[in-house]
Amino acid sequence: MSQLWNDNNNGIKGVIPKMSPQDRKNIMDVLLQNQQKQQKLEKSKWLKSLLKAILLQLTRLIYGIGNAVDSFISFIINSKGTAKNIVVQTARGPILFGVWVMIIFIVVGGLWSALAPLDSAAVAVGTVISSTENKIVQHQEGGIVKEIFVKQGDYVKTGDPIIALDDTKIRASVEIKLGQYRTLLANQARLTAELEQQEEIIFSEFLVNNNHIPEVAKIMSIQQHLFQARKKGLNARIMQFEKRIDSLEAKVVASKKQLEYVRKLIKNAESLIAQGFGQKTELDKLLVEESSLVGNIIITELEINSTQQDIERTKSEAIDRTLSELKEVEHAVIEAQESYNSLIDILSRTLVKSPVDGIIKVLDVNTQGGVIGSGQRIAEITPSNDSLIIKAKIPQKNIDSVKVGLKAKIRFGAFKYRTTPVFTGRVVLVSPDTVQDQQSAMQFNNAMIGDTFYIAKIEIDMDEFNKVAKVKNLKLFPGMQADIQIITGTRTLLRYLLDPITDNMFRAFTEK
């Protein structure tokens, strides 16, 4: 709903539209921003007026001091006492010179404090680290330590062994799984040969290349014998059906010949009866015999067809059985191959190797025959080929002024301060949240008491550093301590002195 409003002064009436909470919030934000801008403008005007008043009063004071000193000297000179007047008159020049020197010094110092910019910085301490952090070496499964190849402080290259774990158990598992895998491969090749009705089994290269191994040769031989035996068994069953078909076909041929003979007799008998010489009973017997022979031929031919169907059914059943077995074996082959590859991977990792070139900073394993758990840290390696940066601890009070891209002044504790210049760097990362100091937390045995700070990573200007390093024979190492000043802006000395006062006065003058 809308609200009525009335401007009594102007005699204007109208309707105030109802605003949404978001519109009301936007208006309040705009008003707040305008108020803040107005306060900053008023503060700036007030500060300029204050500085002008101070400079004016300082100028008047300087001239007043000069006139007072000159009047004092003139008074002494004009007073009685000839010797005194001579001495004072002689000293008048040096005194005035000294006074003007002091005045000039005060003026120059005041101007310098008001105009000369001084860096405003956030102070932090840091440590030189590798740009990619130290590498933690772990083992996924853990195991018994068989041999240790390195010690703390050793330099290692990528792929160098650090420790070796006992591989007796895993090797046994690999051999068992390898035997199963070989058997399944040979079985798969045999079933494929049966399905495709090959004359011989075509084994995979994995088996052929290892047929010199007795176990592999035995597996292949067993499958060859099984292939021949099943092939002979199937052929024998088919041969039995074929022999029966041959017998039935011979029976059909004989029956057809006999039927042909009987039909000739029937014709003769019919001819004699027609001439009046034959007997009808003989003809009836021949007709019955003809019908019997025709029936027998039909039945025998049906048996032949049934036997042929038996042959096709036997072949089809053999194919279906072989196909079903082949599918199961193929699935088992895939599982066995995955298990075998997994075991080979575990076996290869029993020799723990260095992932990078670097120095062994920490070695947590020092007992041959000891046990390490799954995921336990084995070693910590400081990379040697990565670029170096500084990991700095930023106090919480300074985080509002520390931003990515700011310049930094760096001093390294390992170098002499008197002979080594300050190096420059640049902030490349600021952590989004605080980090707790684990050492202080462990010291108090309370995770809530540890110091908290922000982490900033500072990139060193290596071109500048290398120029100085060549002359002074300097070198950076991970772990070196550094004192850092992150430049957050510039202020004059006068601002340093006056800002606390003006801030308090400004707030005091605006309080209700």
Domain spans in the chain, listed from the N-terminal domain onward: 3-115, 122-131+387-510, 134-161+350-382, 168-348
CA angle 313–317–321, rounded 5-degree value: 175
479 compared with 378, residue with greater pLDDT: 378
- How far apart CA 363 and CA 163 sit, in angstroms, is 10
170 compared with 445, residue with greater pLDDT: 170
174 compared with 11, residue with greater pLDDT: 174
Which two tokens mark 499?
């800002």
Number of other CB atoms surrounding residue 239 within 10 Å: 12
3-state secondary structure of 231: helix
Question: Length of the chain in residues, anyone?
Answer: 512
Number of other CB atoms surrounding residue 285 within 10 Å: 15
CB 426 within 8 A of CB 405: yes
Helices in 349-432 by DSSP H: which ranges?
none
Q: What is the pLDDT, as a whole number, of residue 117? A: 60
Confidence of residue 18 (pLDDT cuts 50, 70, 90): low
CATH code for 122-131+387-510? 2.40.30.170
CATH code for 134-161+350-382? 2.40.50.100
Which two tokens mark 60?
């008047």
For residue range 310-319, list pLDDT tens digits in order.
Answer: 888 988 888 8
Per-residue pLDDT at 162 exceeds 80: yes
96 compared with 330, residue with greater pLDDT: 330
CB 472 within 8 A of CB 420: yes
Confirm or reject CATH 1.20.1270 for domain 168-348, answering yes or no.
Answer: yes
Among the residue ranges 31-40, 107-116, 365-374, the one predicted with the least confidence is 107-116
Model pTM score: 0.55
For residue range 256-307, list pLDDT tens digits in order.
Answer: 898 888 888 888 888 888 777 767 888 888 888 888 888 988 998 898 898 8
Long-range CB pairs of 247-251, under 8 A, 24+ apart, other chains included = 248/300, 248/301, 248/303, 248/304, 248/307, 249/304, 251/296, 251/300
